[in-house]
Structure 1
């Protein structure tokens, strides 16, 4: 089974929730960056739904015409055992069977007259197959891939034939329709996809272009692109990455003249000595295709592939790392899919290599309109050039912690036992299962064989007064089979804090609460299947909170006594690349940063307000600060500590390492604080465990430290005693007190 990333599992959970018949909305729009793995997410959802329910359902998946995307999707679907994947031609023969997923290229049903398009008799046959499915009480769920591209009357007409009970639209560029009563909008944030390692950390624009080289744009762009390609090849070798031949995409304007492609072909073949005959040059245009078979495979010989925008949507070639965007006469508008072709990491199971040249994608172009679109849509956040470390920061040395063997983690049996012992201690459970039943009932847990639901009742005159409606409770009989989708949703919510796959979560809950005719060592209740179903659905939120507390408690304990740690010398990397806002006016050099040429434009794009406030505060107090290093968040080249959870061990990367002018070194981790209404903005449930890990490290190595949070745009710190969630005044102190002694020393020396 494919192991989904956290954000991908969130999408699957959302789709499972959405597909339930009682869910009030029948249209869902999902916006996900190119490279997020939307095909795998959708297939995982379809597979889980078919596998877990007895629903009489068929899925129909519409894909855009270019790039043979429907074949790519169908091939991937064949790896899921529960899905009967088929093409529209298969559907014409076999119909829309129960549990099937039919992949239909728009060009087959709504395109211009072509050999690929369905004949009139085939269209009639397709309609007959749809009607036959209706006669067998089958209902359809329709998926519209790259929905923005084929929103035409013809497309809507064929889609309407399926009378879909639910419709899912997916795209990298679709906007929120702002019609929540009709269509729900769900967005996958690009930051979460980058953090998962599926796409590059950034897109670097026109790096190391030598404008003195030649007046010929081709020479300038292709010289820079080839140098970068050779750097990537060398870096793969240096880092032991084999079987990947980096690809340069050369994109022509869609409306370009034939002469332009001829000129580019001539330049690449005659000047760069990469030809069709030696297999290093390929071309994929509607009127001309050469060396395109298996061009997307990682070790394919083609080094340069000439394309137009049309291939860009949906086409998948993870080895593509560089895009040369050619202009002709007038500029061309940027589309997100264009850069999506070069943003995929070639080995998603590995993710980022934590090597700068390999973890970025590269764009070379003089097309001003195109570049303006890139920055306007945030598709390239303009990474800085490589910044050099200042001399005064080169002597810093710390001890970094890493896990020796990441696979040596707590096994499933230990996880289960830890949770059982935690529940037993929390509720004072005994071996008497009837007594345990009363204990939970007295603690407010809902028991019995009915599921409690709520509905609104009352009257309102205008929509603004709808909140005056009263909540009423309604109870319905639970059924183990009929409530499978609801149970799956609950299991997915629980697996986030248990660190086990869904199937293991279900097995654990059955061991605890389901009666099998005999008692287990870990039995807590003796419920039948329907009572167990009702118990889980009524109480999963309360159980999740209990499991989370147990997990955090294990994390704190584990952080105090953890073996299997490797200790390495850490020095600040000699070069680093940060992102920045190229449009920001009045940027200034940050004198306290450890790197030369680091500016306030990089501080401005930090996603966390507490990080921005911290950097600015330190710059405002430059008289006491020697240098500030903003640590990375993944990989062995950055400073890391180790902490444990009930599910195993994890690294964490403190945000800042600060050396003061008196020689003191501070390690600072920032977390969200409280908003103006006193609500907690810290979303990291493992903050207490990380706090203990940093406290232990600081005591071991005699380093100063603190956790810093924000409230009302002011900074407060905690570095003594136990972690405290609430930012109470006697615990969380103003940041100035953390450095007060240094300020006093500084004033005395001035006097």
Structure 2
């Protein structure tokens, strides 16, 4: 709805986090300039203007001797800035980032009262709130689904963890040497490097080694030992010509300048506590904690530095190893704090047996919803079709070169000089080339992408659409005529025509996405995943025929446990796999319940005669609940067997409520399924 009230904003954060916040927000807002980001020294007329965000460091502003707090002759302090804004009828909205650090202190509360905000928004991963007027929680699962953070953090991968008296221990690692955990971390880094290279990504995964705070000379010796191991065993050091090691300690910063770049040559960073807050390095994926670390309690703050995905625009990768972060530690008696870390930190990992042979099943998974905000490749064909219908080739003037003045004004209204040599002088033709023309073209595309997120791949899709139009219809190839093409597009005679076509295509694209949301994506050759992560609610079960070893279960479903016992006793079973119920990692067949959905069957069973069983265990079923899934599985098996597969399966139950009876299964169409009548079910003879 329209809001007539005038608002200004104050955004505060501890340490230097406000600088990072401003940079990120400016980048996000650069397409529309709906809001303006400023520091104190940027304020015009010593006031917060409408839709302006004032960023400052909360801790420094808390000090009464701060230059922006104390009275001065220029009357340029926070209280006067606020006074001028309120004189113009402007309300203030206050954002306190990392609020758990400072928002509740007595001094902070006094400062909040002085600001007198209409609304205070406290942001925190670990909130401490007293009687809030409202609270918006973003579920961890939702952030994971968006592909912004890793699926989980795996603790001591490739080592066996176990729980003793409620605390996590690790065989071989607990109390073990620094050399062992550093070796594990470096090996994992090399696995990740290969995975990113295969993905054609320039991300160079980073290992963080957190040194204990210095209390005695012991901590100095630990650091010396760590540096020695890295240098002698892995050729990683701070030496000139190597530069693979960075150090970030109090008063000692070595090779730290470029460590946050995705393709930085830095492979390992040594640090203590100072790095913890607001550090912006999403390529950090492995954390090493030494046994003299200050705490054996893991919380979400402990692993927060390695949670983010390095390329959130891409979301999660096909290779699962890239979707997790890794912690290696020789700490003993590890506890996981009762916050969201409890469900996020993985302590058990099950690996696929080495004797596994590929089964190559056709699977499916839901369409990712990222296409709602990001452009898919089919946008290009839609653009070309709409351009043809619009008669774009006929309507544009390919001789036009005069850049639209409004576009340049919008690009940088406050600072036109940001484009080298560019000036707006009356109605004079402006000639811009090279890098400045590229920036202006990118701006034009971003400006016309809304409501889609202006990430690089979406911008690329729009530009590619325009290039293909010129290649096909105007016979101008962008590799040879790029400057001319862009000038034609941005010219005051033509830009609106391209905007018109883009607007139509965006509308059609959104309609197409709504249709495709209910569609499923096929996975042509699905196979059992290489590994499965499990949390502390799972326990190891002694089973021999599970293709994943060791096998972990949460013990929630008696039917599944009883069926596993049956499979373990069977002479005909080669192996079985307990399936999961999410994304492309696990096996699913399509079914229709008003819209297409994936049906993740409970078990995939490989028989010694080569047949593969697809079974879903039920303790009690109804036609209404299970019918569509039964039909989906029935049709899938029939269809795939016609292609030469050897599949069997269906819904499986036991004839006795205590699982002492026969196992029977239903493998027919749903139309023959009758309530409480099992006469047309088959005995499962495995």
Given the two structures, how large is their TM-score scaled by the length of structure 2?
Answer: 0.62
One of 167, 182, 204 as aligned partner of 1:245: 204
Matched residue, 2:532: 577
Q: 5+ unaligned residues in a row in structure 2: which ranges?
A: 160-169, 368-374, 384-449, 454-509, 642-646
The residue that corresponds to 2:361 in the other structure is 398
Match of 1:161 among 114, 138, 146: 114
Task: Give the aligned partner of residue 659 of structure 1.
Answer: 605
Q: Report SS of the residue matched to 1:311.
A: coil
SS of the equivalent of 2:321 reads coil
Residues 137 and 118 of structure 1: CA distance in aligned 2, closer, same or farther (over 3 Å): closer
The answer to whether the Cα contact below 8 Å between 2:634 and 2:669 also exists between their aligned partners in 1 is no
Structure 1 unaligned residues grouped into runs of 5+: 1-19, 21-51, 414-499, 504-546, 560-564, 724-729, 747-751
| Residues 1:400 and 1:243: Cα distance change in structure 2 (over 3 Å) | same
Q: What is the rounded CA distance, in whole Å, between the counterparts of 2:299 and 2:365 in structure 1? A: 41
SS of the aligned residue for 2:136 comes to strand
Question: In the superposition, relative to structure 1, how do residues 718 and 347 fare at CA in structure 2: closer, same or farther (>3 Å)?
Answer: farther
Q: After alignment, is 187-196 or 656-665 more displaced?
A: 656-665
Q: 1:598 to 1:402 in 2, by over 3 A?
A: closer
How far 1:385 moved relative to its partner?
3.3
Q: CA distance change for structure 1 residues 172 and 403 in 2, over 3 Å: closer, same or farther?
A: closer
- Whether the 8 Å contact between 1:282 and 1:306 is mirrored in structure 2 is yes
Larger displacement relative to structure 2 (342-351 or 320-329)? 320-329
Q: Find the aligned partners of 1:96 and 1:707 in 2 and give their Cα distance.
A: 65
Quote how far apart the aligned CAs of 1:347 are: 1.0
- Residues 344-366 of structure 1: CA deviation (Å, up to 9, x unaligned): 11111122223243222111223
Distance 1:617 1:351, change over 3 A: farther
Cα deviation for residue 318 of structure 1 reads 0.6
User: Which position in structure 2 is the counterpart of 1:187?
Assistant: 137
Alignment of 1:59-458 (within 5 A): 59-65=9-15, 68-79=16-27, 80=29, 81=32, 82-91=34-43, 94-110=46-62, 121=72, 125-150=77-102, 151-174=104-127, 179=131, 182-208=132-158, 217-237=177-197, 239-254=198-213, 256=215, 260=219, 263-264=222-223, 267-268=226-227, 270-271=231-232, 272-276=234-238, 277=240, 278-328=242-292, 331=295, 333-368=297-332, 371-373=335-337, 377-378=341-342, 380-389=344-353, 391=355, 394=357, 396-400=359-363, 407-408=377-378
Cα distance change of structure 1 residues 192 and 262 upon mapping to structure 2, 3 Å threshold: same
Q: 1:580 to 1:377 in 2, by over 3 A?
A: closer
Residues 245 and 301, structure 1, Cα contact 8 Å, conserved in 2 = yes
The residue that corresponds to 1:522 in the other structure is none
Q: CA deviation at 1:279?
A: 2.1
With over 3 angstroms needed to count, the CA separation of the structure-2 counterparts of 1:325 and 1:162, relative to structure 1, is: same
Write the distance in 2 (CA, Å) between the matches of 1:665 and 1:187: 43
CA distance in 2, matches of 1:229, 1:296: 17
Q: CA offsets per residue over residues 192-236 of structure 1, 9 Å max, x none? A: 322332222222222346987999733222222222222222232
Give CA deviations for 1:369-388 in whole Å, capped at 9, x if unaligned: 66544899416533433423
Output the CA distance in 1 between the equivalents of 2:349 and 2:566.
27
- The 5 Å alignment of 1:34-73 reads 53-65=3-15, 68-73=16-21
d(CA) in 2 for partners of 1:83, 1:224: 47
The structural deviation recorded for 1:407 is 4.2
The change in CA–CA distance for 1:629 and 1:212 in structure 2 (over 3 A counts) is closer
Task: Output aligned runs, 1:589-608, within 5 Å.
Answer: 589-590=542-543, 593-600=546-553, 603-604=554-555
Tell me how far apart the structure 2 counterparts of residues 203 and 401 of structure 1 sit (CA, whole Å): 26
Residue 401 to residue 588, structure 1, CA distance change in 2 (3 Å): closer
Matches within 5 A, 1:708-719: none
Q: Structure 1 163/551 Cα, relative in aligned 2: closer, same or farther at 3 Å?
A: same
Q: Which of 569, 577, 582 does residue 629 from structure 1 map onto? A: 577
Equivalents in 1 of 2:366, 2:99: separation in Å? 44
Distance 1:371 1:698 in 2: 46
Contact kept, 8 Å, 1:213 with 1:219, in 2: the verdict is no
Deviation at 1:390, TM superposition (A): 7.8
The aligned counterpart of 1:741 is 682
1:160 is displaced (CA, Å) by 1.9
In 1: Cα distance, 2:174 partner to 2:45 partner:
60
- Does 2:637 correspond to 1:698? yes
Structure 1: how far apart are the matches of 2:296 and 2:96?
A: 27
Q: CA deviation at 1:311?
A: 2.0
Residues of 1 paired with 2:618 and 2:37: CA distance? 46
Q: How many pairs align? A: 518
C-alpha contact 1:176 1:185 (8 A) present in aligned 2: no
Q: Normalising by structure 1, what TM-score?
A: 0.57
8 Å CA contact 1:58, 1:97 repeated in 2: yes
Residue-by-residue CA offset, 1:553-595 (whole Å, 9 max, x unaligned): x988x88xxxxx877344434x32231327x67x532456432
Q: Give 1:266 deviation, angstroms.
A: 6.1
The SS at the match of 1:168 is strand
Structure 1 counterpart of 2:563: 618
CA positional deviation for 1:268:
1.7
Q: Is the 8 A contact 2:666 2:680 kept in 1?
A: no
- Distance between the aligned counterparts of 1:104 and 1:167, measured in 2? 15
Q: 1:287, CA displacement in angstroms?
A: 2.2
Question: Which of 524, 540, 553 is 1:568 aligned to?
Answer: 524
Cα-Cα RMSD: 5.1
Give a deviation string over 1:373-423, Cα, whole Å, max 9, x none: 4899416533433423385x747453346899974499999xxxxxxxxxx
Contact 2:176/2:330 (CA < 8 Å) preserved in 1? no
